[in-house]
Structure 1
Amino acid sequence: MNGLVERNTRFMGCSDSYEQSAVVITGVPMDFTVSFRPGSRFGPQEIRQVSFGLEEYSYYLNRDLRDFTFFDYGDLILPYGNIKECLKRIGQVAEKLFSEGKFPLVLGGEHLISLPFIEKAAAFYPGLALIHLDAHADLREDYMGEVYSHATVIRRAVEAVGGRNVYQFGIRSGDGSEFAYARKETNFYPDEVIGPLKKILQQLGDRPVYVTMDIDVVDPAYAPGTGTAEPGGITSREALQVIHLLGQTRVIGFDLVEVSPPYDATQRTSLLAAKLVREIILSFGGK
């Protein structure tokens, strides 16, 4: 990993031992395909910085970060504007983590950074299910002529894992053609999260699951710091409930994307993201 990452601020309570850690946090500060407001490249560092305002202990789970060993790799070094090279480097890191049996906890960055992790997860875990939590469908074939975009990432993911293995929750925005495609090709639960998620998790059983969560699945009243805010989302409490529900299944990797600090002077979006990260570690770090 030398030359691929740089370590600045680390998430609270992280270990210095990569080898002994089950969960590995990796920041991917890329945001140059966003369709509205850039700034999510600053998300990974901001999430780490505000994490020190939280407790290590989770009363929801009665678990403490100090009892878990997890590692923070730092942020990937990416060539700005070179999409193919960025995806290649992200893929190299994803392959290393999965091949060494780690649980990648990825901090974006825009949503396109999820694609290499999804593709590598599918390669290492046959029968993979993809859970997608988002305000937007992200199912366009292309966006302004570009097939690689944060607006196309789940369409590319469908090509990697198959539409019947993709489960989409909370979607409340997109082009009409995306909604038509989703209803035909994926397991599509627009505008809802908790109810249908409970039912799907019972069906998934012991299948390996990769989760990609765009912070804008949360209503901008609770998480305004994102590039394409969309009213009508879930609450911060429901976002935490999602993590705890997912703790009942075999999640093998998780990314949290599109936190964009410039649009939230209160830092409540980053604080929510940091709390979600804590709950993810405590939910999956011991498996």
Structure 2
Amino acid sequence: MPAKAGIHHPHLPTISVPSTPTNFLALPPEQAALDSAAAVLIPVPIDSTTSFRSGARYGPAAIIAASAALEDYDLELGIDVAELGIHTTPPLEPHVGDPQAMARRVQAAVSHYAAMDKLTGVIGGDHSAAIGSALAWHERHPDLSILYIDAHADLRDEYQGTAWGHGSAARRIADHCPVTLVGVRTLAIEERDYIQAAGIPTCYWPSTDSDYVHNIIATLTPQVYVSVDLDALDPSEMAAVGTPEPGGMRWPDLTALLRRVAEQRQIVGFDVCELAPNEGPPANAYTAAKLVQKLIAYSCHLAPAQ
């Protein structure tokens, strides 16, 4: 006989299902309070400018949900990351159909927390979210440099009808401050020509430079903004992205670079973008959340004395 809806089973235990967390690491209020937080995370659920596989708008929620499974303790650094204090804002409302207006919205949000001297982390969303975030920090630090980690150069002046989409994100940022590219393994002729003409420091991947980490850091100013498109990682480790590209960085490559940067420069803000959770295994959201946690830990714990 089929079961009937609504039948009560008095001998079965009641199972409490936790709700989806709305703040990173599912922190209790005292560790997520804005006033005491060292870092502020801003979810930006947009993917209106994606060009291959959509779904990055679901990335922020997936990353925050996966973060609840992370250990607060960072084994590498020997610190409890939760004790740094991490405040997660409500998601920014997308400005559908106007990527430039969305960039301004992100810029205003990041500027608000930058003025409080918080480390800011934008969780995308497609990589166009980096534009407003980086420019907000450029306003605060005019000598800011950008470490832009991506399988693609994102240097087209315009792509698919907009100059403010993910394919032009690094170009719009480079209009204002120096950009160093890392992890690039595919690009358009237009982008190749711009790299050469503008003298953009570029570490193509795989790197043939045995001292590439040192040489990358040498291009960076004292204050650095870090922008990470998850497709910089090899698809074997990160398949859930809009445009996966074979031959990418491995997790130890990426984290070793970020650690060295944090030890020698002040990371003032960052973004982690382009997780499209429906395009890969659930483990990819966990990896993305781990990267956000690592960036917070490195930036706050390893920052050189100013």
Fold conserved between structures, TM > 0.5: yes
In the alignment, does 2:49 pair up with 1:11?
no
Distance in structure 1 (CA, Å) of the matches to 2:252 and 2:298: 16
Distance in structure 1 (CA, Å) of the matches to 2:194 and 2:203: 13
**Pair 1:202–1:181, CA change in 2 (3 A):** closer
1:247 CA drift (Å) = 1.9
Distance in structure 2 (CA, Å) of the matches to 1:96 and 1:123: 12
In the alignment, does 2:86 pair up with 1:73?
no
Equivalences for residues 47-126 of structure 1 within 5 A:
47-126=63-142
Give TM-score scaled by structure 1 length. Answer: 0.90
Q: Give 3-state SS (helix, strand or coil) of 1:24's partner.
A: strand
In the alignment, does 2:195 pair up with 1:182?
yes
Alignment partner, residue 30 of structure 1:
46
Distance in structure 2 (CA, Å) of the matches to 1:66 and 1:120: 26
Q: Deviations over 1:35-81 (max 9, x none)?
A: 11110011111011111222111111111123321211131122333
Greater shift after overlay, 28-37 or 194-203?
Answer: 194-203
Q: Give 3-state SS (helix, strand or coil) of 2:100's partner.
A: helix
Relative contact order higher in (CA < 8 Å, ≥ 6 apart): 1
Does structure 2 conserve the Cα–Cα contact (< 8 Å) formed by 1:219 and 1:235? yes
1:27 CA drift (Å) = 0.5
Q: Select the structure of larger CA radius of gyration.
A: 2
**Pair 1:272–1:195, CA change in 2 (3 A):** farther
Find runs of 4+ consecutive structure 1 residues off by over 3 angstroms: 192-195, 202-205
The letter for the 2-side match of 1:191 is W
Distance in structure 2 (CA, Å) of the matches to 1:148 and 1:269: 27
**Pair 1:237–1:267, CA change in 2 (3 A):** farther
Does structure 1 conserve the Cα–Cα contact (< 8 Å) formed by 2:21 and 2:68? no
In the alignment, does 2:155 pair up with 1:139?
yes
Distance in structure 1 (CA, Å) of the matches to 2:196 and 2:284: 31
Give TM-score scaled by structure 2 length. Answer: 0.85
Distance in structure 1 (CA, Å) of the matches to 2:59 and 2:85: 23
Alignment partner, residue 169 of structure 1:
182
1:246 CA drift (Å) = 2.3
Identity of aligned residues (%): 27
Distance in structure 2 (CA, Å) of the matches to 1:257 and 1:168: 15
1:282 CA drift (Å) = 1.4
Q: Give 3-state SS (helix, strand or coil) of 2:71's partner.
A: coil
Alignment partner, residue 274 of structure 2:
258
- How many residues are paired up? 276
- For structure 1, the residue ranges without an aligned partner over 5 or more in a row are 1-6
- For structure 2, the residue ranges without an aligned partner over 5 or more in a row are 1-19
From 279, 283, 286, the counterpart of 1:271 = 286
**Pair 1:262–1:213, CA change in 2 (3 A):** same
1:189 CA drift (Å) = 1.6
**Pair 1:8–1:81, CA change in 2 (3 A):** farther
**Pair 1:176–1:149, CA change in 2 (3 A):** same
Does structure 1 conserve the Cα–Cα contact (< 8 Å) formed by 2:44 and 2:125? yes
The letter for the 1-side match of 2:115 is S
Equivalences for residues 127-276 of structure 1 within 5 A:
127-161=143-177, 165-185=178-198, 186-192=200-206, 195-202=211-218, 204=220, 207-248=222-263, 249-264=265-280, 266-276=281-291
RMSD: 1.9
Distance in structure 2 (CA, Å) of the matches to 1:13 and 1:195: 39
From 3, 20, 27, the counterpart of 2:36 = 20
